[in-house]
Amino acid sequence: MTKIAIFGVGLIGGSLALCFKGKPGIRVVGHSPNPASVEKYVKRGVVDEGTTSLEEAAKDADLLFLCVPVGMLQNYLEQLSKLPLKPGAVITDVGSTKGDVVEAASRLTFGGASFIGGHPMAGKERSGVEAATSYLYENAYYVLTPTADTPEEAYERLVRLLSYTNANILRLDAREHDEIVGAVSHLPHIVAAALVNLVSRLNKRNEAYERLAAGGFRDITRIASSEPSIWRDICMSNRTVLLQLLREWIGETERFIALLEQADEEGVASQFVEAAAFRSALPERRKGIMTTHHEFYVEVADEPGTIGKLTTLLGERSINLRNIGILERGPGYPGALKMSFGKAGDMEEAEQLLRGLGYRIHF
């Protein structure tokens, strides 16, 4: 029996637990120092068993997932380094930054266990175990950052387990990961927060800013609503990379300033043309950290006409479906469609309609 210990069973940890739970020869144990949280994990059926004891969760565990905030990872690693872990065990994390945690792990010894940094690049606007779903990682990238000292057998064992998530595994150096994710995720959060703060200050002089910002502005800056403590820790952990990216971002804004000062119409247009070309080339099928506002997954039969039947049902109710995607699932899994909506009302109406017709919906 393979024992998997998950420390922090929220959205990310809970979704991992649901991917592993019930698979042949696997037992999932969830840990939290809070007894009420442990009771919730077990009651919701997310884990096979739960405990408030870190020692009990780690004992004889074959794989240990640290799904706690970035700012707590080093503390958990230090605690695990003091325990008699199972020889050959694999410790991994799910943090959004990898350099610091990989470096911290390299300074510790785990008695024959190995640490492999991990970052599943998927998420939701809702958090907590209530939002956990086995669909979270479907077609998302899951980055692993082994080092030169990582036993290849340990890496392959972790990859095999993660196949239950149906994610796309990507192997990267930890620092390379931080540079890339800093640009595509961390910097956008900073820019969004700064833009919202600018408009907030302007609104103090004229409240019309707030009224007119309710539409597109709210959509393009929604990541500014992310949990402040989480993003504080991420920014501090990836500080060196972000300082360099912010300097480069200032260079981009200064380029726009110069073009506007010169009234260079062609130059301004070329900036938008260049941006549109690159953005259009980005794959639409992959999920990332920043997901769409309103979406769910619906289990469907793998047979002709299924998609047409569902879209017709929604169309007859004048429910506006913004996007639909087919999830590539392995043998033995039900088919699934990801449906995205422009408004919460459309999503809620669609959910009510499809559930009433017997479809299974997952968020």
**Bridge partner residues of 210 (DSSP):** none
Q: Within a domain: residue 140? A: yes
Q: Is the pLDDT of residue 286 over 70?
A: no
Average pLDDT over residues 335-351: 81
Domains in the chain, number: 3
Average pLDDT over residues 79-89: 95
Q: Within a domain: residue 78? A: yes
Instruction: Answer with the one of 130, 145, 173 that is the final residue of a domain.
Output: 173
Quick one: 15 and 117 in the same domain? yes
Per-residue buried b or exposed e for 50-72, using 16+ beta carbons within 10 Å of the residue's own CB: bbeebeebbbebbbbbbbbbbee
Q: Is the pLDDT of residue 330 over 70?
A: no
Domain hosting 114: range is: 2-173
Q: Within a domain: residue 274? A: yes
The predicted-structure confidence for 302-323, as pLDDT tens digits, reads as follows 778 888 888 888 888 888 887 8
Predicted confidence band at 287 (pLDDT cuts at 50, 70, 90)? low
Would you state the pLDDT for residue 181?
Answer: 95
Q: Look up the CATH number of the domain holding residue 150.
A: 3.40.50.720
Quick one: 152 and 95 in the same domain? yes
Quick one: 108 and 14 in the same domain? yes
Q: What is the mean pLDDT of the chain?
A: 89
Query: Which of helix, strand or coil describes residue 219?
Result: helix
Would you state the pLDDT for residue 238?
Answer: 95
Q: Within a domain: residue 287? A: no
Quick one: 315 and 353 in the same domain? yes
> By mean pLDDT, which of 41-55, 259-273, 348-362 is the weakest?
348-362
Instruction: Answer with the one of 130, 148, 173 that is the final residue of a domain.
Output: 173
Would you state the pLDDT for residue 290?
Answer: 47
String of DSSP letters for 191-209: HHHHHHHHHHHHHTT-THH
Q: Is the pLDDT of residue 98 over 90?
A: yes
Q: Is the pLDDT of residue 348 over 90?
A: no
Q: Within a domain: residue 289? A: no
Would you state the pLDDT for residue 316?
Answer: 86
Quick one: 12 and 159 in the same domain? yes
**Are residues 242 and 187 in contact, defined by beta-carbon separation less than 8 angstroms?**
yes
Would you state the pLDDT for residue 192?
Answer: 94
Quick one: 326 and 348 in the same domain? yes
Average pLDDT over residues 192-218: 90
The predicted-structure confidence for 138-190, as pLDDT tens digits, reads as follows 888 999 999 999 999 999 999 999 999 999 999 999 999 999 999 999 999 99
Would you state the pLDDT for residue 333?
Answer: 56
Q: Within a domain: residue 18? A: yes
Quick one: 150 and 34 in the same domain? yes
Would you state the pLDDT for residue 152?
Answer: 95
Would you state the pLDDT for residue 196?
Answer: 95
Quick one: 21 and 113 in the same domain? yes
Average pLDDT over residues 81-89: 95
* pTM reported for the whole predicted model: 0.77
Q: Within a domain: residue 288? A: no
Maximum Cα–Cα distance across the chain: 69
Average pLDDT over residues 7-31: 95
Q: Look up the CATH number of the domain holding residue 236.
A: 1.10.3660.10
Q: Look up the CATH number of the domain holding residue 349.
A: 3.30.2130.10
Q: Within a domain: residue 286? A: no
> By mean pLDDT, which of 11-15, 229-233, 281-285 is the weakest?
281-285
Quick one: 29 and 166 in the same domain? yes
Q: Is the pLDDT of residue 285 over 80?
A: no
Quick one: 191 and 325 in the same domain? no
DSSP 334: P
Would you state the pLDDT for residue 28?
Answer: 97
Query: Whole-angstrom Cα distance, residue 106 to residue 150?
Result: 10
Instruction: Answer with the one of 229, 249, 281 that is the final residue of a domain.
Output: 281
Quick one: 354 and 306 in the same domain? yes
Quick one: 162 and 198 in the same domain? no
